[in-house]
Amino acid sequence: MRRWIRKAVVLAATCAWLVPATVVRAASDPPPLPLELLFDNVAVSEDARPDEADFDGFGASLSARDLTAADWTPGRELTVQGARLTWPRSRPGEPDNVRASGQQVRLYGGSGDALAFLVAGTAGGETGGAGSVTYTDGSRSAFRLTAPDWRTGPLAEKAVALPHVNTEDGQLAERARLYARTVPLLPGRSVASVRLPRARGLHVFALSVRDISQGWTGSWAASTSGRTSVGPWTDRTLRLVVHTSVGGSRIRLRFENTFADEPVRIGGATVAVRASGAEARREPVRLRFRGRSGVVVPAGAQAYSDPLGFAVPADTDLLVSLHLPGTVRDAPLHAEALQRSYLSEPGDHTGDRSPDAFRPEVTTWPLLTGVDVPGGPGSVVVLGNSITDGIRSTPDASRRWTDVLADRLRAQHTVPRYGVLNHGISGNRVLSDRYPGDGASSDVAGVSALHRFDRDVLAQTSARTAVVFMGVNDLRWGWSPDEVIEGLRELVERGRERGLRMLGTTLLPCEGESRCTAAVDAGRVAVNAWIRSSGVFDGVLDFDAVLRDPEHPARMLPAYDSGDHLHPGDAGYAALAGSVDLRELAAGP
């Protein structure tokens, strides 16, 4: 059987549980200390002095020069998966990480949804163990923390990959990986300390409490589907068009340098409500990044703009303009925007209200991955493939099924008016990576759902409910229904461990499409039967029943078929959204 699913024993998180509020520390147990006072291993060396570090016990180490090139410099605060993590302030040759062996780490992080770690393993494979969190009220919760190996772990999950490994015998042209991992926290409780696992070869460089989603609701989002060649763009302004689901009185934007191996500089950025084309309704408003007009986003990291007082209308196009003063030859992006955006003539045109400097040359969403508004009830995140991405719907019209779902949510009062975050990637699969997760590639169908679930679901702003609408691509490319079922089961388990309501959708009929053979349809029917009857999901959206032809159930009704027999057209997408019982989206009391 193919090796593809990370079993529950090595998941990055497990269910938290309470223990009695009174915690008694053994007399021999040392008091918690800040992580940097517990550093007992040297991972980073200068290229000319590789013997000053021994990360793995065999004389190998990370290159200080490579880290600097990625903008992972000593003391650099990095935002990864919504968590702010500080790269150790140590100089090369000084202790910069902890080998996890049950140490107690003091935190002053307050409360949040997750505890975030920056880790790597040196055990030759994935390593990990059980740890615990102690809160200021004396309660505790348990977690399981794992780390892939720094030289052989999956590139699709890495926070950053460096191009070299330093050894005493010389530098190797081999990718060194570092990983971000998150584990759940009890809601509303303030963290006092963390006990690290006892795990051979598990190294911790940084940890923090993630609270970036508190007080915000996601209004728009897109997944990074890959990193590919662009332009090159030199001293150009991108003006990206995005469509809000919910509105608010302030705004915060998220930019991501996912999958990159070098930083990207955004010289300035603005936001405006769109009039038409590249024209703003009013003068664009400038964004700030920790009080500054621009920001450098390190390789693999994110940047959030400062909260800005700005009236964000619901169901409206925004113009997000960002100036790229340097030369950008490749960029992380969402490939199938189905929305024309704009590239300027040379210069910083972020403040232009007029469209004169822009041409409609961009059909992707580079770098921008999220738009948040304050307050609100939270968000519904949809994890999917090209059908969720909206392929074959009318371009520039926001007629994906998730757009129509957002319309329905805004027009009712039965359930909270959630934001809707579309994390569909065309060509994406549950089980296997199309984009390898590293380097520039022409394949922008994304890393697998298993590999992107933490970033595209768990780390999304105020996620309350997740809808999983995936599996047909796996079947079309040779995976068995049993394998698809196990992959879907793992996604549900991981979401539930974080308190999400997990909904599944049945897979649409696709007979007539070249890869949708009779065997594929039999697999689809088997997966759908499991989705409907297993009870694994918290609720089921039976999309198959909505679009199939009653006279020929292996096919879509012609009225709903876009013509390629795999993707619905506008009418089919509207039917999917119209079939959703909105009460199924309601998360918790």
Rounded CA separation 359/556 (Å): 38
What pLDDT, on a 0 to 100 scale, did the predictor assign at position 452?
98
Strand stretches in 125-225, DSSP E: 127-135, 140-147, 160-162, 165-167, 170-172, 176-184, 191-195, 198-210, 216-221
Per-residue pLDDT, 213: 77
Residue 121: other Cβ atoms inside 10 A: 26
pLDDT digits (tens, 9 = 90+) for 419-469: 999 999 999 999 999 999 999 999 999 999 999 999 999 999 999 999 999
Q: DSSP secondary-structure letter at 506?
A: P
Question: Under a CB-based contact definition with an 8 Å cutoff, are residues 178 and 118 in contact?
Answer: yes
Plot region of 182 (φ>0 → left; ψ -120 to 50 → alpha; else → beta):
beta
pLDDT of residue 87: 98
Q: Are 226 and 281 in contact (CB under 8 A)?
A: no
- Model-level pTM? 0.94
Helix, strand counts (H, E) of the chain: 9, 37
Residue 145 makes CB contacts below 8 A (sequence gap 6+) with 12, 100, 117, 119, 128, 129, 131, 181, 183, 196, 197, 199, 202
Long-range contacts of 2-9 (CB under 8 A, 24+ apart): 2/431, 2/479, 2/483, 4/431, 4/432, 4/450, 4/483, 4/487, 5/431, 5/450, 5/486, 5/487, 5/490, 6/126, 6/450, 6/490, 8/490, 8/493
- DSSP labels, 371-386: EEEESSS-EEEEEESH
Question: What integer pLDDT is reported at residue 22 of this predicted model?
Answer: 35
Cis peptide before 346 (omega within 30 of 0): no
Give dist(CA 214, CA 209) in Å, integer.
12
Tokens at 158, concatenated: 């890495």
The pLDDT score that the predictor gives to residue 30 is 87
Cβ neighbours of residue 294 under 8 Å, at least 6 residues apart? 265, 266, 267, 268, 269, 323
pLDDT of residue 18: 35
SS (H, E, C) 296-337: EECCCCEEECCCEEEEECCCCEEEEEEEEEEEEEEEEEECCC
**Which residues in the chain show pLDDT less than 70?**
1-28, 588-589
pLDDT of residue 534: 98
Tell me, what's the pLDDT at 57?
97
Distances (CA, A) of 31 to 25, 103, 156, 227, 416: 9, 9, 37, 45, 45
